[in-house]
């Protein structure tokens, strides 16, 4: 059985092995610091291993989806308004919620790769 993994972000994304708290992967799919990351909980359109990590950078206009297993490979990216502060998958991993500096929460449909709904806060 593989070890439980944790991830942290900042200047890079670090994936940690919880057995000995060592870094097993370190990468940055953005040109800037990473503001938020989220693991998907279900199989996705782009990755069937349940190891898809979504990341956002407040200075970037991309949301990156990275498959993390033996290596870290960016599977796809979404064009997003710059200033993404937080990302999270819904419970079925069908949608991605993205909050940004524009005071909006965008709900992305991961199948169509389009914003399904926008909430102004």
**What is the DSSP annotation of 8-38?**
EESSSEEEEETTTTEEEEEE-SSSS---EEE
Domain boundaries, the chain: 5-120
Query: What is the CATH number assigned to the segment(s) 5-120?
Result: 2.130.10.10
- State the 10-residue block means of pLDDT for the chain, 121 residues long: 77 91 91 91 56 88 86 86 89 91 93 94 85
**pLDDT for res 60:** 84
Backbone angles phi, psi at 64, to 5 degrees: -105, 145
CA distances from 15 to 24, 44, 63, 92 (A): 6, 20, 18, 23
pLDDT for the residue numbered 43: 57
104 Cβ neighbours under 8 A, 6+ residues apart: 81, 118, 119, 120, 121
Strand partners for 74: 66
The pLDDT score that the predictor gives to residue 51 is 73
pLDDT at 71: 79
């Amino acid at each position: 059985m593989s070890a439980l993994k944790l991830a942290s972000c900042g200047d890079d994304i670090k994936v940690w092995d919880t057995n000995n708290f060592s870094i097993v992967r370190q990468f940055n799919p953005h040109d800037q610091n990473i503001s938020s990351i989220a693991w998907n909980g279900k199989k996705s359109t782009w990755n069937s291993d349940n190891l898809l990590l979504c990341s956002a950078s407040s200075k970037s206009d991309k949301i990156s989806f990275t498959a993390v297993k033996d290596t870290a490979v960016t599977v796809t990216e979404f064009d997003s308004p710059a200033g993404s502060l937080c990302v999270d998958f819904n419970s079925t991993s069908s949608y991605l919620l993205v909050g940004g500096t524009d005071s909006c929460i965008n709900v992305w449909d991961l199948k169509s790769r389009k914003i399904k709904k926008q909430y102004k806060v």
